[in-house]
């Protein structure tokens, strides 16, 4: 039996839309994962610091402010700097289709747009985290 | 036919003998819905509970003639990039038949940060327009006669600074504050509950609210001093009844604040306005709007002793539910938005924003905004729903739902009172917990396929569809930061420091902070400089997140 998956659910940037982040946090928790919810208005530095402190396996970033192309690559860079690039990063929010391949190229594992069932995110993490360890 | 039976029992038997679809027949918020409503479901006296449009308790509408006199105002929320770009979009909207402006500010502005703050990185001009100083405000309204348009500004924590900039920009066009028509949202309580764009803790925020209210009541007779908002509460996942209850209880708290500021309720309550969501459960939404008017009128009269009829009227703006839009098959969002718009109209809204089909993906393109505006024009001019006031009044179902929403609202009012009022309830996490529970329940129901979203959990798209989306290039941020630096090099730095010191002094002494803020923005002090001066006195809010 593998160890419990630990996930940081993070609201980066300045937007206060936390419905999605809370829904995901609950769904992951209900699926048996340990969830650390950062609360709102986090900087990429704060998110990476929390991830290292909590020794998390994955970070779920919720962002609806349109700043994803700046803030997500920044998180990926910081993880690499900290040699923590085995941490799985996925994100959700209002993200135009055209940006998805660019985010994936930057190392984001999956992008979930509005309307995605939470089960898909749960299955994705359960499927991807063990493979990375 | 068995003549010994009444028609009612015959129907009941006939109904019971037939198959029902395997569904939960309930509203989106979970209110059970019966197969049929009859006069037995409606209690009370007609005149007392419904009355006439423009008459207490205003259940049927705030004006005697409703849309036969004047249609609702089409008011699309817009703003992106730089002030100059948004100015262009405003002119486009005005040319296309829109009659009121509505400014969306970017995230840094909403949080009281300047474009050059490290925390603003990647956010400048993205979800709204970047306004750092008076100069940006002047550019935003260049060529638009500020004495003739009505402007709604969605701004809360730093509302006083943006209002001051608006007043001074108008002054420079030769328009005095007395002539300015419009609204600033200025509803800080719902920020703690739902929207989460705050700066100071709740108590000093209410002090700022009182200062603004006192200023606007004295100098801006055509200005709505607050737009008490349920929209964000609903978007955060609340039920219709929670939206209704939390919005109205916030409203009561603002009335109390006005009375505490030494104002008479009838001097300021007529300038309070409301802002609701219109979601997909058609009848529940209509019932919500009707219940809201009735509760507000009753509480204003009976609890706060308002005498003026204008204090009793709940005038409201409505926006269709952003959260109901899907990223999959975005063109279907036009249909969703049209139904939601119709509910708002049948609910008697005074102004309306219809969301654009691409808003689950990005800010709307010009074309998708045009479709959204046209949706309202079709409802107004082609469907005939404007011919009579409150067309659904007297529907047994709608009246029963209106009563039920009202009853649930009073349950929430009691819970909030028991906790000691709105701010103690916020401190205890009550509203946030209620919303999080409702939101999780709805999501569970969707995933268990007890509720449907077409092209999300039923009739899923066969192939990926795509629409062109609007994008804001990074250059916007760079050029805005450059403009800000340039402005800072041109302004009288010593005067700015002196004015900011006066802002701080007023905050400490308890004098009205609006006047020194007007002076500070006149010297081109930035949004963040003014807000930070107040933070020095009031401190910063930190949330305890509730999952």
Reported ipTM: the value is 0.86
A1 pLDDT band (50/70/90 cuts)?
very low
CB contact at 8 A, B270 and B311:
yes
Q: Does pLDDT of B339 surpass 90? A: yes
- Phi/psi for A42 (5° steps) reads -90, 145
Taking the CA of residue A98 and the nearest CA in chain B, the distance in Å comes to: 9
Nearest to A39 among B113, B326, B543 (CB): B543
Task: Specify if A85 maps to a domain.
Answer: yes
**Nearest chain B alpha carbon to A17:** B195
Asked if B386 is an interface residue toward chain A (Cβ–Cβ < 8 A), one would say: no
The C-alpha atoms of residue B405 and residue B264 are separated, in whole angstroms, by 30
Distance of CA A66 to the CA centre of its chain: 16
Q: Does pLDDT of B462 surpass 80? A: no
Asked if A16 is an interface residue toward chain B (Cβ–Cβ < 8 A), one would say: yes
Parent domain of A62? 6-128
Across chain A, mean pLDDT equals: 93
The C-alpha atoms of residue B528 and residue B262 are separated, in whole angstroms, by 30
In percent, the amount of chain A with pLDDT more than 90 equals: 80
Asked if B189 is an interface residue toward chain A (Cβ–Cβ < 8 A), one would say: no
Task: Specify if A77 maps to a domain.
Answer: yes
Nearest to B121 among A18, A70, A115 (CB): A70
Distance of CA B370 to the CA centre of its chain: 21
Helix then strand then coil, in percent of chain B rounded to 5, is: 50, 10, 40
Query: B440 and A22 in contact by Cβ < 8 A?
Result: yes
Q: Does pLDDT of B465 surpass 80? A: no
Query: B547 and A15 in contact by Cβ < 8 A?
Result: no
Asked if B438 is an interface residue toward chain A (Cβ–Cβ < 8 A), one would say: no
Q: Where are the domains of chain B?
A: 41-70+185-447
Per-residue pLDDT tens digits for A66-122: 899 999 999 999 999 999 999 999 999 989 889 999 999 999 999 998 888 899 999
B97 pLDDT band (50/70/90 cuts)?
confident
**What is the predicted pLDDT for the residue at B93?**
81
Establish how many alpha carbons lie within 13 A of residue B309's alpha carbon, considering only the half-sphere containing its beta carbon: 9
**Nearest chain B alpha carbon to A43:** B119
Taking the CA of residue A116 and the nearest CA in chain B, the distance in Å comes to: 7
Distance of CA B330 to the CA centre of its chain: 24
What residues in A contact B469, CB-CB < 8 Å?
96-98
Asked if A35 is an interface residue toward chain B (Cβ–Cβ < 8 A), one would say: yes
Closest CA to B188 of B175, B203, B178, B171: B203
Query: B235 and A19 in contact by Cβ < 8 A?
Result: yes
Interface size A-B, in CB pairs within 8 Å, comes to 114
Nearest to B126 among A29, A66, A115 (CB): A66
What residues in B contact A98, CB-CB < 8 Å?
469, 471
Task: Specify if A133 maps to a domain.
Answer: no
Across chain B, mean pLDDT equals: 95
Establish how many alpha carbons lie within 13 A of residue A89's alpha carbon, considering only the half-sphere containing its beta carbon: 29
- Give how many domains chain A has, as a whole number: 1
The C-alpha atoms of residue B193 and residue B242 are separated, in whole angstroms, by 11
Asked if B13 is an interface residue toward chain A (Cβ–Cβ < 8 A), one would say: no
Task: Specify if A1 maps to a domain.
Answer: no
**What is the predicted pLDDT for the residue at B95?**
87
**Nearest chain B alpha carbon to A66:** B126
Place of tokens 């007395």: B178
Query: A26 and B236 in contact by Cβ < 8 A?
Result: no
CB contact at 8 A, B546 and B436:
yes
CB contact at 8 A, B50 and B58:
no
Token pair of B407, please? 């009853």
Token pair of B96, please? 């296309």
CATH of the domain at A88: 3.40.50.280
**Nearest chain B alpha carbon to A92:** B361
**What is the predicted pLDDT for the residue at B127?**
85
Q: Which of B231, B432, B443 best tests the A interface by mutation, with the highest count of A CBs <10 A?
A: B443
The C-alpha atoms of residue B214 and residue B262 are separated, in whole angstroms, by 9
Taking the CA of residue B533 and the nearest CA in chain A, the distance in Å comes to: 20
CB contact at 8 A, B237 and B243:
no
Per-residue pLDDT tens digits for B264-313: 999 999 999 999 999 999 999 999 999 999 999 999 999 999 999 999 99
Q: Read off the pTM.
A: 0.93
| Per-window interface: B 79-118 vs A, CB < 8 A | 107-108, 110-111, 113
Taking the CA of residue B22 and the nearest CA in chain A, the distance in Å comes to: 22
When pLDDT is averaged across residues B161-184 and rounded to a whole number, the result is: 97
Region of B328 please: left (phi>0), alpha (psi -120 to 50) or beta: beta
CB contact at 8 A, B441 and B26:
no
Establish how many alpha carbons lie within 13 A of residue B197's alpha carbon, considering only the half-sphere containing its beta carbon: 26
Gyration radius of chain A over CA positions: 13
Q: In angstroms, what CA-CA distances link B95 with B81, B144, B413? A: 20, 11, 44
Q: In angstroms, what CA-CA distances link B257 with B213, B234, B422, B428, B535? A: 9, 24, 12, 21, 21
Asked if A63 is an interface residue toward chain B (Cβ–Cβ < 8 A), one would say: no
**3 state SS of B265:** helix
Exposure string over A77-102, b if 16+ CB within 10 A, otherwise e: ebbeeeeeeebbbbbbbbbbbebbee
**3 state SS of B402:** helix
β-bridge mates for residue B458, sequence order? B454
Asked if B432 is an interface residue toward chain A (Cβ–Cβ < 8 A), one would say: no
Asked if A32 is an interface residue toward chain B (Cβ–Cβ < 8 A), one would say: no
Q: Does pLDDT of A133 surpass 80? A: no
Per-residue pLDDT tens digits for B192-208: 999 999 999 999 999 99
Asked if A128 is an interface residue toward chain B (Cβ–Cβ < 8 A), one would say: no
CB contact at 8 A, A91 and A61:
yes
The C-alpha atoms of residue B352 and residue A76 are separated, in whole angstroms, by 41
Residues B41-70+185-447: name the CATH superfamily.
Methylmalonyl-CoA mutase (3.20.20.240)
β-bridge mates for residue B422, sequence order? none
Query: B469 and A98 in contact by Cβ < 8 A?
Result: yes
What residues in B contact A118, CB-CB < 8 Å?
443, 447
Query: B443 and A23 in contact by Cβ < 8 A?
Result: yes
Q: For the ranges B3-12, B51-60, B192-201, which has the lowest average pLDDT? A: B3-12
Nearest to A94 among B120, B361, B455 (CB): B361
Pair type for strands B316-320 and A110-112: unpaired
């Amino acid at each position: 039996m593998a160890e419990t998956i630990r996930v940081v659910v993070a609201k980066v940037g300045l937007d206060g839309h936390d419905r999605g982040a809370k829904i995901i946090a609950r769904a992951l928790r209900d699926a048996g994962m340990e969830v650390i919810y950062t609360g709102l208005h986090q900087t990429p530095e704060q998110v990476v610091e929390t991830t290292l402190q909590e020794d998390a396996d994955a970070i779920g970033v919720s962002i609806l402010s349109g700043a994803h192309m700046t803030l997500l690559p920044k998180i990926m860079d910081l993880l690499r700097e900290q040699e923590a690039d085995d941490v799985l990063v996925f994100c959700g929010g209002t993200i135009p289709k055209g940006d998805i391949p660019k985010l994936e190229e930057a190392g984001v594992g999956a992008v979930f747009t509005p309307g995605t069932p939470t089960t898909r995110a749960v299955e994705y993490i359960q499927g991807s985290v063990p493979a990375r360890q | 036919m068995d003549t010994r039976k009444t028609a009612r029992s015959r129907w009941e038997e006939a109904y019971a003998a037939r198959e029902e679809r395997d569904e939960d027949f309930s509203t989106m918020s979970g209110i059970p819905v019966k197969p049929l409503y009859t006069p037995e479901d409606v209690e009370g006296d007609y005149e007392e509970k419904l009355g006439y449009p423009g008459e207490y308790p205003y259940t049927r509408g705030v004006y005697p003639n409703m849309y036969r006199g004047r249609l609702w105002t089409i008011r699309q929320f817009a703003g992106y990039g730089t002030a100059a770009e948004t100015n262009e979009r405003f002119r486009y909207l005005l040319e296309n038949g829109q009659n009121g402006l509505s400014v969306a500010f970017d995230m840094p502005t909403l949080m009281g940060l300047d474009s050059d703050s490290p925390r603003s990185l990647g956010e400048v001009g993205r979800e709204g327009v970047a306004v750092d100083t008076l100069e940006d405000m002047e550019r935003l309204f260049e060529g638009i006669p500020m004495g003739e348009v009505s402007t709604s500004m969605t701004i809360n924590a730093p509302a006083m600074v943006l209002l001051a900039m608006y007043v001074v920009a108008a002054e420079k066009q030769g328009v005095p504050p007395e002539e300015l028509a419009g609204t600033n949202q200025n509803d800080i309580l719902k920020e703690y509950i739902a929207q989460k764009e705050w700066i100071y803790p709740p108590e000093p925020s209410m002090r700022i609210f009182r200062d603004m209210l006192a200023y606007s009541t004295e100098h801006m007779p055509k200005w709505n001093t607050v737009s008490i908002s349920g929209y964000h509460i609903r978007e955060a996942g609340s039920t219709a009844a929670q939206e209704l209850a939390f919005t109205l209880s916030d409203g009561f708290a603002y009335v109390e604040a006005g009375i505490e500021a030494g104002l008479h309720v009838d001097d300021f309550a007529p300038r309070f306005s409301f802002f609701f969501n219109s979601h997909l459960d058609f009848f529940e939404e209509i019932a919500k709007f009707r219940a809201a008017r009735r509760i507000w009128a009753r509480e204003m009269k009976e609890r706060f002793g308002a005498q003026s009829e204008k204090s009793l009227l709940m005038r409201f703006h409505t926006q269709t539910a952003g959260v109901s839009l899907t990223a999959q098959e975005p063109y279907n969002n036009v249909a969703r938005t049209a139904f939601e718009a119709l509910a708002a109209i049948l609910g008697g809204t005074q102004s309306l924003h219809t969301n654009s089909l691409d808003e689950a993906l990005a800010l709307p393109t010009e074309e998708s905004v045009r479709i959204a505006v046209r949706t309202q024009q079709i409802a107004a001019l082609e469907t005939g729903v404007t011919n009579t006031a409150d067309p659904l009044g007297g529907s047994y179902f709608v009246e029963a739902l209106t009563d039920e929403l009202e009853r649930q609202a009073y349950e929430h009012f009691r819970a909030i009172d028991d906790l000691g009022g709105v701010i103690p309830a916020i401190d205890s996490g009550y509203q946030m917990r209620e919303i999080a529970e409702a939101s999780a329940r709805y999501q569970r129901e969707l995933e268990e396929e007890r509720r449907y979203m077409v092209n999300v959990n039923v009739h899923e798209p066969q192939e990926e569809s795509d629409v062109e989306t609007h994008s804001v290039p990074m250059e916007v941020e760079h050029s805005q930061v450059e403009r800000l630096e340039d402005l800072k090099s041109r302004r009288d730095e010593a005067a700015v420091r002196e004015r900011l010191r006066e802002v701080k002094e007023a905050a400490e002494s308890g004098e009205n902070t609006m006047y020194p803020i007007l002076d500070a923005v006149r010297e081109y002090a930035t949004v963040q400089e003014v807000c930070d001066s107040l933070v020095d006195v009031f401190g910063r809010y930190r949330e305890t997140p509730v999952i």
